Amino acid sequence: MPWLTTITDLADAEQAMRVRRSRYGVIETCAGQFTRLTLRPWPKLALPWDVFWGEYRHRSADGDRCWLFYNQPRGLPTFLALKFVVSSRAATLATFRGALGVLDHVARLKQTDAIVCDAINWRISDRLMSRWGWQPHKPQRWHRNYIKRFYGTFPASAGPLSGV
């Protein structure tokens, strides 16, 4: 696999096969629409300095953009982990929802059972997560873990992937 592979059309059979085979990626949306998916050869680790990098990227990025990092853990091949989300200052809710819609589509392509995440930002409410199909999972003292289960039943594509 090349160092970084860019996917621009998730409906293309060859590009969809690349997405199925790769374990790590970054979904980019702009103005509510899917822009590209960059497949990475290494996982995204959520480290303390990522908070500072995310804040810098949030302040400096132009336009209505969002980047969503996901991993497929080696020990759990039927799960995806939503690791990190960065948005520009002008990003809209539609752009973020578009990135989540693409993540659902990636889960469909990979036939994953569930997506898991750790919501560190306390402005993300439990009510919002449940409205978007996420359920609390494995409660811990300083973490708010959520899971979005599929088990073969995937949501219909919406928004930026309505043609896929």
Q: Which two tokens stand for residue 155?
A: 């949501």
Classify domain 5-155 by CATH number: 3.40.630.30
CB 39 within 8 A of CB 24: yes
- Tell me the per-residue pLDDT of 101-138, one tens digit each, with 9 for 90 and over: 999 999 999 999 999 988 777 677 888 888 888 888 77
- Tell me the per-residue pLDDT of 33-45, one tens digit each, with 9 for 90 and over: 999 999 998 887 7
Q: What's residue 145's pLDDT?
A: 87
Q: In what order do the strands lie in the sheet with 114-118?
A: 5-7, 33-40, 24-30, 65-71, 79-87, 114-118, 145-149, 135-136
- Tell me the per-residue pLDDT of 53-76, one tens digit each, with 9 for 90 and over: 666 565 666 789 999 999 999 988
Could you tell me the pTM of the whole model? 0.82
